[in-house]
Amino acid sequence: MTAGQVAVVTGGANGLGEYLVRRLHTGGCRVAVADLDGAGATALAGRLDDTGATARGYRVDVSDRAALERLLADVVADFGTVHILVNNAARTQATPLFEITRAELEEVLAVNLTGTFTACQVFGAYLAGRGYGRIVNLASLAGQNGGTATGGHYAASKGAILSATKVFARELASSGVTVNAVSPGPLDSPAVRSIVGADLDSFTARIPVGQLGDPAFIADMVALLASPGAASVTGACWDANGGLYLR
């Protein structure tokens, strides 16, 4: 990671997002922690750097294009530029497939798909204008194998993110901007443990490697794709699912 590069991480206040933020910051990036929970984003940024020189928190609703445009403007005003965008913000609702209402479907898609797609538009245009950039989208095993443990609408949105990644990669390649995806399987996280519940041991036993994924390793994958040396990788999806999906 090039020291001093500016990375924006959506959904960065907690969970996997916090791992991503910490990894990029440790790697030398100045990090904009963006989240619907603006107070949480600011608190995390303060724990990383209470001066605000290398980490700042921002409130953003990724389903709102104007909010994403403000986020870009604010980060550029504070840090001078942007080099990296990590689209991590997501909404998960483990609703049985035939009980998903239209309203709930639209709410999940608005964050997961529309938020990612619009952020790629807003930040992608800016990065292309500068002739350099890295965009990394967080997909999911659910979007590859049709898994619905996290909700059929979540799975559908993550599958669409994989297609959007290819669309933007093709469009932005000639401008020096790469666009890639990382697709984790079940991670050792409070969210996964909450969804699986008391069945965790038998759930883990069904994973070929016999263990949940490490969020810190996912953060390493994202950091590698976000690095200047990853120039020849675009439109790719890097899997980390313990052997649950092979291709």
Catalytic annotation, residues: 154
**Environment class of 23 (CB within 10 Å of its CB; exposed 0-12, middle 13-18, buried 19+):** buried
Structure tokens at 172: 């932005």
Report d(CA 206, CA 215) in Å as an integer.
19
Say if CB 10 and CB 86 are below 8 A apart.
yes
Which phi and psi (to 5°) does residue 242 adopt?
Answer: 70, 15
Neighbour tally for 69: CB within 10 Å = 15
Residues 6+ apart with CB under 8 A from 44: 12, 13, 14, 18, 21, 33, 55, 57
Say if CB 90 and CB 161 are below 8 A apart.
no
Identity of residue 200: L
Report d(CA 203, CA 186) in Å as an integer.
10
